[in-house]
Amino acid sequence: MSSDLVTFVAGLPKAELHLHIEGSLEPEQMFEFARRNRVAIPFDSVEQVRAAYDFSNLQDFLDIYYAGADVLRTEQDFHELALAYFRRAAADGVRHAEIFFDPQTHTDRGLPFAVAADGLLSGMVAAEAELGVSSKLILCFLRHLDEEAAFATLKAVEPWLDRIAGVGLDSSEVGHPPSKFQRVFARAGEMGLKRVAHAGEEGPPAYVHEALDLLRIDRMDHGNRSMEDEGLIRRLADERMTLTVCPLSNLKLCVVDDLADHPVPEMLRRGLHVTLNSDDPAYFGGYVADNYVRLAEATGLSREALVQMARNSFEGAFVDDAAKTRHLAEIDAYLAEVG
C-alpha cells in the first residue's frame, strides 16, 4: 500500500453518503455495550466476533448485523456509536456524512423510536461541535418487511420530521423489489423527505428502473448491476444520478470476486456520477478512505479519478448550494496545497 496514496486520500476532503450506522459497530463496542446493558451475546471474545464476520453473502451478513444491533439499548449507546463513527470518518477526510439507520431493527425488539433517533441526533450534534463534520440522518425501511410496517415507521417519525433528511430502502434485496414500497415512498416525498434506495447490488437492473420510475429516488445506493443495461447506463449519466458505490462491501459480499474487476472505472468512463462509501465498515473491513485506497490500488484509478469522486460526493449530498460550493472550494485548496 503506497504511503503517498494513503496520505493523499486521507487529506482529500470528501462526503460519505452510504453508511449504515449500525454497521459501524466494532467488536469492542459490541462487547462494551453488551456488558453495560447485560445482554447475552454468543461470543466469548473480540476475536470470536471478528471470526464471525467471515461471511460471503448478504443474508449471512444481515444475520450477524441484526444480532449485533441487539446490544444497542440506550440513547447513550447510539450517541457513542455515532460519535465513534464520526471520529473515524474525520480522520479519513470526511467533512459531511449522511448516515442511515434502521428504526425497525430497534422498534421490533421493543425500543421506542426516540431511543435510536435521539441518541444518534445527539451524537451528530456532538460530532459537529468536536470535529466540524456536518451530517444528516436518513431512516431506512427494511424491505423484507411489508409496506404497512414501513408506513407505521413513517408515521412514528413525524415528531422528528425537521431532523430527518430522507428515507431509504435496505436489507435483503432479492425478492423484495422497490415496487413493493411505491406508496410509502410517495408519501415520504409528500412529507418533504428525500428518497434513496438500495438497488442493483444483488438485485437485477429491473430493480434500478423501479427505483427510478416508481420510487422517484433522488440518489441511488449501489447500482452496480446498472452496467448490464446499456439504456440504463445512458439514462443514469444523462440524469446525473448520484450512485453511492461501496467497493469493499461488494468484495466482502461477493458482488465482485476481485476488486480489480470492480465496475467503478467503467462507470466513470461512461460518465456516471459515482461516489465511494464504506457501507458497513466494521463488518466489511474498512472505512471510506480504505475504499478509495484499495480500489485505486486494485484498478489503477488515477488521482484525478479519486478527486472527481470526492467532488461527486459533495455534489450529490443533500446540502444547499452554498455548502456544496464551500466544500468544493476546500478540495481545490487542498489540491493547490499538495501540488
* pLDDT at 302 (0 to 100): 97
pLDDT digits (tens, 9 = 90+) for 259-274: 999 999 999 999 999 9
One-letter amino acid at 31 equals F
Greater model confidence, 236 or 57: 236
Cell of 6: 494513503
pLDDT digits (tens, 9 = 90+) for 48-103: 888 888 877 778 888 888 888 999 999 999 999 999 999 999 999 999 999 999 99
pLDDT digits (tens, 9 = 90+) for 273-305: 999 999 999 999 899 999 999 999 999 999 999
CA distances, 166 to each of 151, 188, 211, 337 (Å)? 14, 8, 15, 36
* Percent helix, strand and coil across the chain, each to the nearest 5: 60, 15, 25
Which residues does the annotation mark as catalytic?
201
* pLDDT at 51 (0 to 100): 86
Q: Which domains does the chain have, with CATH numbers?
A: 3-23+76-338 (3.20.20.140)
Confidence of residue 212 (pLDDT cuts 50, 70, 90): very high
- The span from the CA of 277 to the CA of 287, in Å, is 8
Task: Say whether pLDDT at 162 is over 70.
Answer: yes
- The span from the CA of 111 to the CA of 115, in Å, is 7
Looking at every residue in the chain, the average pLDDT score rounds to 96
Confidence of residue 256 (pLDDT cuts 50, 70, 90): very high
* pLDDT at 173 (0 to 100): 92
* pLDDT at 1 (0 to 100): 64
Confirm if 80 and 123 have CB atoms less than 8 A apart: yes
Confirm if 169 and 215 have CB atoms less than 8 A apart: yes
User: Considering only CA atoms, which of 77, 182, 176, 75 is closest in space to residue 119?
Assistant: 75
* pLDDT at 192 (0 to 100): 97
pLDDT digits (tens, 9 = 90+) for 31-50: 899 999 999 988 888 888 88
- The span from the CA of 242 to the CA of 26, in Å, is 28
* pLDDT at 56 (0 to 100): 74
Write the DSSP assignment of 269-307 as a string of letters: HTT-EEEE--BSHHHHT--HHHHHHHHHHHH---HHHHH
Of all residues in the chain, what percent carry a pLDDT higher than 90? 89
Angle at 168 between CA 9 and CA 216, to 5 degrees: 105
Number of residues that make up the chain: 339
